[in-house]
Amino acid sequence: MDHAELNMEQVLKRDIPWETYMTTKLITGTGLQLLRRYDNKSESQRAVLLDDDGPTYVRVFITILRDIFKEETVEYVLALIDEMLTANPKRARLFHDKFLASEDIYEPFLRFSLSNLESHWNQVLLCCSVTPVIGTLSFCDVSIARSTWAHLERLLRKGNWFIQEKSCKILTMVVSGRLENQERVTSNGEASNSKKQLTSTDDVLKGLVEWLCSQLKKPSHPSRAIPTAINCLETLLKEPMVRSLFVQADGVKLLIPLILPASTQQSMQLLYETCLCLWLLIFYEPAIEYLATSRALAQLIEVVKGSTKEKVVRVAVLTLRNLLPKGTFGSQMVDLGLPQIVQSLKAQAWNDESIVHNDCLFSGTLSASLLYEYLLAHCGIEFSMMFVKSVSIVASDDLLEALNQLEDGLRDNIKKMSSFDKYKQEVLLGHLDWSPMHKDPIFWRENITKFEENDFQILRVLITILDTSRDPRALAVDCFDLSQFIQYHPAGRVIVTDLKAKDRVMKLMNHENAEVTKNALLCIQRLFLGAKYASFLQV
């Protein structure tokens, strides 16, 4: 069977020969008894066993993954663990129980995606001459004397897809389920009260981020790799360290192509989780700096404009609202027409039938107290307080409230955009157009001295645009602005002449575009006449 198309149901139907493993001493008698109690039982029966003695069952599973290399058995045990954690994500804490303090809970998962477990088993046979039904590393220390990083590389790059997917998902849930104030592993990777070298959480996070980025770049599975990677990232990016690692790995740019309006349910979920990743990243300043230089904002606005699913619109709006006060995002949002889009969204009736995500972060039906309790349990107090302060989700009208806040912020930005900052941005980008400020006498009177900043930087850029731009509209506006500077600045004629703008403007008097010719002539007239008489010239 193609391992890429394996599913949980197929794997869990297998009959694993646990007795054979006990005969070859790969599992103990106690382990066999526990497996008999647990295997092929209903979910409710398994839940009781896990509630009563969860850490013991986790140890059995970890032992099997550590010592047994039969591919079908590895897949089966990974499926059991995945099923256990999916039914109740809080069970991830079982892996961090004091009972398992001496166990390396991460290493078996990191070790397991070998490109060909059977060929690896053949190497084991050469070392220890055991029956080829099963494999063990306990007899060939040389073959496993590899660093954790090497194990991780084998896991995340060379295993069959089912093992890669389940191992990554389990590692994500387990590492996220640790209690922040009860970290079992110290910074040097040694367990407390033990001389055994254990895999550190930092190494796990680094490896996971590397693998997830590799899947976004070059998916191992045509349809499941990217959704799996995004789903895991959505959980892991709650960790400040993961945000840093992801940005350092240049991962932000890998998310941008996924921020597109979606039509199918599957693509809608992927879009939602991608936007959620983006929302989590904006709590990390270097990520914001990257977003400012990408097309993320324009694509996010297209998502808001074109999506019909409330949870997608909600997370996109919250992301835009939190980006609004950062850098030049506010003015860019205005330029991209977001104020009109927000007004249109407010007029719509939003009511998703089911908008509760697995992580419950943006449930319209989730009360504030339950939301805070969830965040406190999963993300820590610092992140919880930050979220509660920045996002008002208290009832089903939270999207409308976020839209109102975004609208208010955009309105403030529109006011600021009539200021010199807006003008400066327009000039530096070379996107000159006939916005109201160019012909507004109040703007020029109030801001004329600001042209002197940084050794007349903006004026110098205006003059440079005369040489570099091929856009007739930009050239016309440029000539007009130079004429305005001459009129309103006391030393305008002298400064413009010293910066050698006259010859450049005169060349444009013969431009093929009438608008350019007209404004070039106006500029030259004011340059020759000076401020005293320039005001008499008609605009």
Give the residue from 399, 396, 393 showing the smallest Cα distance to 371.
393
- As to burial, measured by CB atoms within 10 angstroms (0-12 exposed, 13-18 middle, 19+ buried), residue 402 is buried
Q: What is the total residue count of the chain?
A: 539
113 close to 155: Cβ distance less than 8 angstroms: yes
Question: In tens digits, what is the pLDDT along the chain, a chain of 539 residues?
Answer: 555 678 899 999 999 999 999 999 999 999 999 999 999 999 999 999 999 999 999 999 999 988 888 989 999 999 999 999 999 999 999 988 888 777 777 776 766 443 333 333 344 334 344 333 334 433 333 333 333 344 444 445 556 899 989 999 999 999 888 744 344 443 334 444 444 556 788 888 998 999 999 999 999 999 999 999 999 999 999 999 999 999 999 999 999 999 998 888 889 999 999 999 999 999 999 999 999 989 999 999 999 999 988 999 999 999 999 999 998 898 889 888 899 999 999 988 666 543 344 444 443 333 343 454 445 445 554 555 455 444 434 334 678 889 999 999 998 887 776 678 889 988 998 889 988 789 888 889 999 999 999 999 999 999 999 999 999 999 999 999 999 999 999 999 999 999 999 999 999 999 999 999 999 999 999 998 855 554 545 44
Ordered structural domains, the chain, with CATH? 419-535 (1.25.40.150)
Q: What gap in Å lies between CA 76 and CA 13, rounded to an integer?
A: 9
Q: Taking the chain, what is the end-to-end CA distance rounded to the nearest angstrom?
A: 78
DSSP class of 132: T
307 close to 319: Cβ distance less than 8 angstroms: no
Residue 226 contacts by C-beta under 8 Å, 6 or more apart in sequence? 215, 216, 219, 258, 270
Residue ranges of alpha helices (H) inside 129-239 are 148-158, 161-176, 201-217, 225-236
- 471 φψ region: left (φ > 0), alpha (ψ -120 to 50), beta (else): beta
Q: What gap in Å lies between CA 502 and CA 485, rounded to an integer?
A: 13
pTM of the model as a whole = 0.67
For residue 278, what are its two tokens? 């983006």
Single-letter residue type at 182: Q
104 close to 199: Cβ distance less than 8 angstroms: yes
Rounded to 10 degrees, the C-alpha dihedral 15/46/231/303 comes to 120
